[in-house]
Amino acid sequence: MRWIRYTLDGETRYGILEDNDRITAVRGDPFSGHETTATRLDLGDVKLEVPVVPPTFYCVGLNYVKHIGTVGLNIPTKPDVGYRANNALVAHGEDVIMPADANRIHYEGELVVVIGKKTRNIGIDEVAQCILGYTIGNDVSERDWQATDRTFWRSKNADTFKPMGPWISTSADLPAMETTVSVNGQETTRFHTAEMLFGIEEFISTMSRYITLHPGDILWMGTDGHSPNLQHGDRVDVTLTGLGTLSNRFVTAGRN
């Protein structure tokens, strides 16, 4: 089942995506309950929105060995989660605006876990029950600012630096899943999504010892590999097997 969030006639709602291009409108949402309606819409007739605006936006850094090598950092010894910021979220199909003073903009294709219910202090075996589903994120990063600023406030959280979508799939075949990224249709990165240092179960179970997870919270699981420097006009597609493709064009601020 695939949850989609869209805007039509100025109203933003949830729907269920069927047959890749038809939406069944619902009343309610995937977190607090819903009922389907008789309304059917074409995917092409609505504006896609990010599939959820999270209460808290968690993001794992340094969770794949090859990526850690490229940024020259030590391999983490425990699952310490980090944060990203809601101001930076944009939907599938929206532009990533590269600030005019940005230099080295990279993509990071990531699996995103969406929390479905209030969760505290759970074991590894209970994690699956608290997950609503999965979507795709692109943790866009400006590497010069990442190296010189004390925090990720603009290197990873400038407006439009967090594309997420296109929708939430309630199931995923994680062991078989691959993440591929392409720039202008040319594949540039491919990795086995499950080859994480610390997996979803370990992160969520550990976090839940100190933190209450809430419906709609999201957890981005980190990336592997290396991105070229992106240029004005590049289109970046992040595909996760079975989940779909998150596609965004990168444009420099002030250029057409």
Please tell me the count of residues contacting its own copies according to CB under 8 A: 33
In the block, residue with structure tokens 């310490």? 80
Cβ 252 vs Cβ 100: under 8 Å: yes
Stretch that binds its own copies, among 41-49, 76-84, 172-180, 234-242 (CB under 8 A): 76-84
Q: Which is nearer to its own copies, 177 or 211 (CB)?
A: 211
The correct pick among 24, 86, 188, 252 for binding its own copies (CB under 8 A) is: 86
Q: Which of residues 102-121 bind its own copies (CB under 8 A)?
A: 120
The correct pick among 7, 70, 129, 212 for binding its own copies (CB under 8 A) is: 212
At closest approach, how far in Å is the CB of 253 from its own copies?
Answer: 10
Q: Which of 132, 156, 124, 129 is nearest to 142 (CA)?
A: 156
The pair of structure tokens assigned to 36 is 């389907």
The correct pick among 37, 70, 103, 151 for binding its own copies (CB under 8 A) is: 151
Cβ 249 vs Cβ 235: under 8 Å: yes
What residues have CB less than 8 Å from 77, skipping those under 6 apart? none
55 counts as binding its own copies under rule CB under 8 A: yes
Encode burial over 86-103: b for 16+ CB neighbours within 10 A, e otherwise.
Answer: eebbbbbebebbbbeebe
Rounded Cα distance between 149 and 126, Å, is 38
The correct pick among 143, 154, 190, 226 for binding its own copies (CB under 8 A) is: 154
210 counts as binding its own copies under rule CB under 8 A: yes
Q: Which is nearer to its own copies, 144 or 173 (CB)?
A: 144
82 counts as binding its own copies under rule CB under 8 A: yes
Rounded Cα distance between 113 and 59, Å, is 10
87 counts as binding its own copies under rule CB under 8 A: yes
Neighbours of 156 (CB within 10 A): 24
Give residues in contact with its own copies (CB under 8 A).
Answer: 53, 55-56, 61-62, 76, 78, 80-83, 85-88, 99, 120, 149-151, 153-154, 157-159, 207, 209-214, 217
